[in-house]
Chains A and B, each alone.
Chain A
Amino acid sequence: MNSEKSLINLVKKGDKKAYNVLVLQYQDRLVYSVFKFLKDFELSQDIAQEAFVKAFKNIDKFRGDSSFYTWIYRIAINTAKNSLSSKARSSEVYDDDLMDLKLSESAVTVDNPENILEADQLRTLMMDAIQNLPDDIRTTLSLREFDGLSYEEIANVQNCPIGTVRSRIHKGREILDKTFSKYNLSNLETNLL
């Protein structure tokens, strides 16, 4: 089963609701990737937003050779490069190699705004929450989230039914959601509702 492929097929048929699912799924990750490149949080949001719209307009060109995220990531980075090039935002001379070097950096090193501090706190909070999960749930969730194993693979590794894997992962996420919800998400909830 490949839910992402199903969503893409729906989008190709003009289903905007399916596309919204993808936007909600990948927006944070995409903004983060663009931010690593641009070091400008506001602009990163604009670029990510533009990339999502461009991707929607060109969804028929997505052949599914790569994941949707890889595809939209390329769109976003090209958009970011064009943006940097046209606006000449910094005094640096535009250099494609330099851009790619920046892309490969894994850590956010400059321009730490308040929200990034908040994000760091949240990450610490999440990691603590994962550590406090019951052993079986923590191991199962980690195999999924950090090792990228499928449910079937996890079932084989842990020698348990696939239904147990599903339940443990769901339970783990439920606990994490409670932790996450205790954190300040009131603005987010208000916006959505």
Chain B
Amino acid sequence: MSELFEHKLSLLMDGEITPFETKRLADEMHSNANFKSLWLRMNKHRAAMHGELLDPNLDLSQNIMSQINNLPSSETNNFIKWPNLNLFSLNYLKVCCYLIGFFFILSLPLLNISSSSNQISSTPKNFLPLNESLLVDLGSNFNGSLKDYRITSASSMEANYLMPGNDELVKLKVFFDNIPEKDWLGTINQGVTVHTRSGSRPLILNLTSDNLPNQKLIIISNSFHNKK
């Protein structure tokens, strides 16, 4: 028997040992008869010292543990177990689970809508480089140099182009295919509007300028049609 375990038994007697070690000692005592015997003797020393020992050979533990091991499970089901629930509680839990499942299924469409709207709102940021390149590409149709641009909504942008050789400014509004007609029509009240495509993606473009006449804007807009 190891000196270390004997030492720990002494600590266990005085309550000076950690919960982890306590568990370890209980397991060790169960598997090692010598160890158990030492624990029994140590407690008999103590009982003898205090005048509380009647029979040095007394050991009820086998009978007690045998009785405990033979107890019907109904008499030992009070222990903290998971789940520590009676039949009523289990039924209650089942109903709760059904309700949670039911409401979860009901909420799925809402979750999808929410998810879709998140995607739309994040589009301008996520696709900003692509949109900028799109604007540069659109400007190349009429040799316009992209001066600045801004994202006006989840489905629309505005850009200003400088025309080559002078300071004339062309303003281009770009609407993506998924914007409702009433929304883009409401923002356009002048200039030239054309329907075109960027690859497979339909676009609505509106050209305006403070300096250029509409005739010039029509010529520019034709460049988008020609490209298509």
> Which residues of A are in contact with B by a Cβ distance under 8 Å?
1-4, 6-7, 9-10, 12-21, 23-29, 31-33, 35, 41, 44-45, 48-49, 52-53, 56-60, 108, 115-116, 118-119, 122-123, 125-127, 130, 144-146, 150-151, 166, 169-170, 173-174, 176-177, 180-181, 183-185, 187-189, 191-193
Contacts and interface: CB of A to CB of B under 8 A. Distances in A.
Contact of A145 (B19, B34, B46, B59): B46
A24 B80 contact: no
Interface string B8-47: 0011111111110011011101100110111111111111
Contacts of B29: 17, 20-21, 24
B32 to A, nearest CB: 11
Nearest to B29: A21
B43 A24 contact: yes
B49 A187 contact: no
Interface of B: 6-7, 10-19, 22-23, 25-27, 29-30, 33-34, 36-65, 67-69, 71, 75-76, 78-81
Given A10-B22, A115-B55, A123-B53, A29 B17 contact: no
A170 B52 CA distance: 21
A134 to B, nearest CB: 17
A111 to B, nearest CB: 11
B130 to A, nearest CB: 60
Most buried by B among A13, A15, A27, A166: A27
B10 A173 contact: yes
A119 B88 CA distance: 54
Nearest to A142: B49
Task: List 7 A-B pairs, minimum CB-CB distance, nearest first.
Answer: A6-B19, A28-B47, A6-B22, A115-B55, A17-B30, A32-B52, A170-B10
Contacts of A193: 33-34, 37
A19 B71 CA distance: 14
A31 B54 CA distance: 8
B175 to A, nearest CB: 67
Contacts of B16: 1, 3, 150-151, 166
A53 B67 contact: yes
Nearest to A185: B56
Given A27-B61, A188-B59, A192-B33, A119 B48 contact: yes
